[in-house]
Amino acid sequence: MAELRELLAFSHLLANMVRRDLTVRYKRSVIGFFWTMLSPLILMVILTIVFSTIFRFEGIQHYETYFLSEFLVWGFFSQTTVTTMVNLTLHGNLLKRVKVPKAIFAVATTASGLVNLALACLPLLAIMLVVRAPISPAMLFLPVSFIIIAMFTLGVALGLSALAVYFDDVSQMYQVGSIGWMYLTPIIYPESIVPDRYLWLIRLNPLTTLFELSRYPIYRGQLPPAEVLAVSLAVAAATLLAGWLVFHRLARGFYVHL
Out of 54, 58, 59, 169, which residue is the one contacting another protein (CB under 8 A)?
Answer: 169
Burial class (CB in 10 A: 0-12, 13-18, 19+), 217: buried
Within positions 60 to 79, which residues make up the interface with another protein, using CB under 8 A? none
Within positions 14 to 33, which residues make up the interface with another protein, using CB under 8 A? 16-17, 20, 23-24, 27-28
Q: Say if residues 28 and 161 touch (Cβ distance below 8 Å).
A: no
Within positions 236 to 255, which residues make up the interface with another protein, using CB under 8 A? 249-250, 252-253, 255
Q: Give the number of other Cβ atoms within 10 Å of residue 129's Cβ.
A: 10
Q: Does position 173 bind another protein by CB under 8 A?
A: yes
Residue among 116, 114, 96 nearest 106 (CA): 114
Q: Which of these segments, 32-40, 98-106, 204-212, 225-233, binds another protein (CB under 8 A)?
A: 98-106
Q: Give the number of other Cβ atoms within 10 Å of residue 21's Cβ.
A: 19
In the complex, minimum distance from the CB of residue 175 to another protein, in angstroms, rounded to a whole number: 14
Q: Does position 2 bind another protein by CB under 8 A?
A: no
Using CB under 8 A as the binding criterion, the count of chain residues that bind another protein stands at 30
Out of 35, 167, 183, 198, which residue is the one contacting another protein (CB under 8 A)?
Answer: 167
In the complex, minimum distance from the CB of residue 162 to another protein, in angstroms, rounded to a whole number: 10
Q: Say if residues 217 and 224 touch (Cβ distance below 8 Å).
A: yes
Q: Does position 54 bind another protein by CB under 8 A?
A: no
Q: Does position 160 bind another protein by CB under 8 A?
A: no
Q: Which of these segments, 140-148, 162-170, 186-194, 196-204, binds another protein (CB under 8 A)?
A: 162-170
229's CB contacts (< 8 A; 6+ apart) are: 148, 213
Q: What 3-state DSSP class applies to 135?
A: coil
Q: In residues, how long is the chain? A: 258
Q: Does position 222 bind another protein by CB under 8 A?
A: no
Q: Does position 180 bind another protein by CB under 8 A?
A: no
Give the separation between CA 12 and CA 69, rounded to whole angstroms: 33
Rounded to a whole number of angstroms, the CA Rg of the chain reads 19
C-alpha distances in Å from residue 174, one per residue of 28, 116, 203, 242: 30, 22, 21, 18
Which residues lie near another protein (CB under 8 A)? 12-13, 16-17, 20, 23-24, 27-28, 91, 94, 96-100, 163, 166-170, 173, 249-250, 252-253, 255-257
